């Protein structure tokens, strides 16, 4: 019977000890440098636990920092220098992010698309939609249909700008990537861009990167043991890049098939070969991740999409984009993935962590940025979600293992309860990016 039963978190909370969390942390670091042997990770974590049990007992609990220090030591002593470095870097990144969230560090400015944000902010001010109070005022005046029309027109203008600029480079562009974090609206945007360019005579062949996931048993897992699809290392990046080069060279490749029900990838399933003038279209969280398209930089266009809503709440704080995307994903996953709202909330911690590692740092590589944020989506989400967030605030208020879920739930609930709800969604266009999440999407 294990001597260790508890661990002391950074905030002083005492929570159950789990060797699996050490194994998962080591395996994640190994995956980031190309290793995928979980048995080795389990053996190393066993060594860590054995040492911990000689130093601590039932009445003396190790801290998270003490465990992490020991993991680094065991990795180095066993000759896993690269994995140790990756583990150290990940640990430092988490510390930096934790300090930033505590208000000690400002967000890195190079990750923020300032020019686009100022454009969106000017639009919001011009349309009296830069605060929740103004939004509520327009709804009270019966202007919700106008808000929808104005918001959709701004998004359509972004799409038209992108399609026009790509069309101007039609003789050189061979790859178009549509990237962005979870629930930013990539699916709808990709369809609209393809449709717009198709009307100009351009032909696209979609490369579905979902088929390039590694087998589930080889995926890194988060601290709760959940398999993590929200990281570039979950994809076979080398194979994707190889197939891209072969396709652009005029050769045929056979795309694998990934069965999400079994968590298995089956190689060489679907043959694909480009015709003269065909453009490869990639819709992926990690479309901007450099190794994905290494070697073809001169022949691609990178599009980044994010709900860049510029609206202040009643406390003068801007509504967070990640909170908008969390609500979107709750609604989408409940319909398309049989995933309940609460599970999406409790998994969001590693979705966000994956974004900060594999998506946000590469925003600067985008050629064009599209804003998918719609001021009118907040009233729609209030009607669907506000009561759920109220329940989660109470459920997780004193749960040290769900501090992230509590903080997000409390923040979103405090914001949503100040928004005037709109239950009639019939005014939302069938081809709106919001339909991707509330249902009824039709793009012709």
State yes or no: pLDDT of 367 exceeds 60.
yes
Instruction: Confirm if 185 and 283 have CB atoms less than 8 A apart.
Output: no
CATH number for region 109-438: 3.40.50.300
Per the structure block, which two tokens stand in for 150? 């104005």
Burial per residue of 185-207, b for 16 or more beta-carbon CB atoms within 10 angstroms, e otherwise: bbbbbbbbbbebbeeeebebeeb
222-268 pLDDT per residue, tens: 656 667 677 788 899 999 999 999 999 999 999 999 998 888 999 99
Report the DSSP pairing between strands 175-179 and 14-16: unpaired
Give the three-class secondary structure for 121. helix
C-alpha to C-alpha distance for 203 and 196, rounded to whole angstroms: 11
pLDDT at 17: 84
Say whether pTM exceeds 0.85.
Answer: no
> Could you give the percent of the chain with pLDDT greater than 90?
58
pLDDT at 55: 86
Of 2-6, 203-207, 387-391, the range with the lowest mean pLDDT is 2-6
173-225 pLDDT per residue, tens: 999 999 999 999 999 999 999 999 999 999 999 999 999 999 988 876 765 66
Burial per residue of 339-376, b for 16 or more beta-carbon CB atoms within 10 angstroms, e otherwise: eebbebbbbbbbbbbbbbbbbbebbebbebbbbbbbbb
118-164 pLDDT per residue, tens: 999 999 999 999 999 999 999 999 999 999 999 999 999 999 999 99
Of 8-12, 307-311, 406-410, the range with the lowest mean pLDDT is 8-12
Domain residue limits, the chain: 6-101, 109-438
Residue of 421, 436, 419, 416 whose CA lies nearest to 372: 436
Q: pLDDT-based confidence at 1, cuts 50/70/90?
A: very low
State yes or no: pLDDT of 82 exceeds 90.
no
Instruction: Confirm if 279 and 286 have CB atoms less than 8 A apart.
Output: no
Quote the Cα angle for 432-434-438, to 5°. Answer: 120
> Could you give the percent of the chain with pLDDT greater than 70?
91
pLDDT at 98: 62
Which helix (H) or strand (E) covers residue 99, if one does? helix 81-101
C-alpha to C-alpha distance for 179 and 185, rounded to whole angstroms: 10
86-129 pLDDT per residue, tens: 877 777 777 766 665 555 444 455 667 888 999 999 999 999 99
Instruction: Confirm if 29 and 87 have CB atoms less than 8 A apart.
Output: yes
Which residue did the predictor score with more confidence, 316 or 232?
316
pLDDT at 259: 92
pLDDT at 110: 61
State yes or no: pLDDT of 2 exceeds 60.
no
Of 27-31, 218-222, 233-237, 440-444, the range with the lowest mean pLDDT is 218-222
């Amino acid at each position: 019977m294990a001597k260790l039963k508890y661990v002391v978190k950074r905030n002083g909370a005492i929570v159950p000890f789990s060797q699996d969390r050490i194994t998962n942390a080591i395996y994640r670091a190994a995956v980031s440098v190309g290793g995928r042997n979980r048995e080795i990770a389990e053996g190393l974590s066993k060594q860590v636990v054995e040492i911990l049990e000689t130093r601590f007992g039932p009445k003396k609990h190790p801290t998270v920092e003490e465990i992490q220090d020991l993991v680094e030591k065991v990795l180095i002593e066993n000759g896993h220098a690269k994995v140790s470095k990756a583990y150290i870097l990940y640990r430092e990144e988490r510390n930096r992010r934790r300090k930033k969230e505590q208000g000690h560090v400002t967000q890195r400015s190079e990750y923020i698309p300032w020019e686009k944000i100022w454009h969106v902010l000017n639009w919001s001010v011009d349309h009296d939609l830069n605060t929740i109070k103004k939004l509520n005022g327009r709804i009270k005046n019966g202007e919700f249909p106008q808000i929808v029309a104005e918001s959709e027109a701004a998004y359509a203008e972004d799409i038209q700008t992108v399609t026009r600029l790509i069309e101007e480079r039609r003789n050189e562009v061979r790859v178009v990537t549509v990237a962005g974090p979870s629930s930013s609206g990539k699916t709808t945007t990709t369809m609209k861009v393809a449709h717009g360019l198709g009307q100009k005579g351009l032909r696209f062949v979609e490369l579905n990167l979902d088929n390039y996931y590694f087998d589930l048993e080889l995926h890194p897992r988060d601290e709760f043991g959940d398999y993590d699809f929200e990281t570039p290392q979950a994809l076979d990046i080398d194979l994707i890049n190889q197939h891209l080069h072969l396709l652009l060279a005029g050769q045929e490749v056979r795309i694998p098939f990934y069965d999400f029900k079994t968590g298995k990838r089956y190689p060489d399933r679907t043959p694909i070969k480009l015709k003269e003038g065909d453009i490869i279209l990639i819709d992926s969280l990690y479309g901007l991740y450099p190794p994905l398209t290494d070697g073809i930089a001169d022949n691609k266009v990178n599009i980044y999409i994010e709900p860049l809503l510029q609206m202040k709440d009643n406390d003068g704080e801007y509504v967070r984009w990640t909170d908008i995307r969390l609500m979107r994903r709750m609604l989408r996953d409940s319909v398309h993935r049989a995933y309940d709202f609460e599970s999406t909330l409790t998994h969001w911690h590693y979705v966000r962590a994956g974004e900060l590692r594999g998506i946000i740092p590469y925003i600067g590589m985008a050629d064009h940025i599209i804003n998918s944020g719609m001021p009118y989506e907040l009233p729609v989400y209030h009607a669907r979600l506000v009561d759920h967030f109220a329940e989660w605030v109470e459920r997780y208020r004193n749960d040290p293992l769900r501090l992230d879920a509590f903080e997000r739930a409390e923040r979103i609930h405090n914001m949503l309860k100040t928004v005037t709800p709109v239950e009639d969604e019939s005014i939302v266009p069938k081809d709106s990016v919001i339909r991707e999440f509330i249902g009824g999407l039709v793009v012709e």
